[in-house]
Amino acid sequence: MRKILLLISIFTLSFNFNAYAKDDKKHDLPPGLQKKVDRGGQLPPGWQKKLHKGDILDQTVYDHGVIYPDDDGVETVYVEDKIIKIIKSTREIIDILNH
């Protein structure tokens, strides 16, 4: 009985530590580049390479684009030469097209 309680305790604690793991999916711009974009400058040249289906669209890229709401909670974001379809509530990238 004691072994079962010990195993259950270890099992439960191992899942709790995952909740405190670092969120590596958030990729904001460095402060200097953020300031440049805020002043109306261009996004850095490599931002397109960071976009993949399933990722969360960075708030800076979202703010820099032209947003068109679609049906069913989907938005289309036009940023420079890219057309990005995202889920509105989470900004998860559904599709990326070249314009």
In this prediction, residue 93 carries a pLDDT of 92
Measured CA distances, 26 to 33, 58, 75 (Å):
16, 7, 20
All domains of the chain, ordered by start, with CATH? Answer: 44-99 (3.10.450.160)
Strand partners of residue 95: 85
Give pTM, 2 decimals: 0.54
Please name the helix (run of DSSP H) or strand (run of DSSP E) that holds residue 83, with its range, or none.
strand 82-87
In this prediction, residue 49 carries a pLDDT of 65
For 25-65, what is each residue's pLDDT tens digit? 555 666 777 777 778 777 666 665 677 889 898 888 888 88
Share of the chain above pLDDT 90, in %: 22
Alpha-carbon distance 23 to 67, whole Å? 26
Residues 6 or more apart whose Cβ sits within 8 Å of residue 25: 55, 56
Residue 96 confidence (pLDDT) above 80: yes
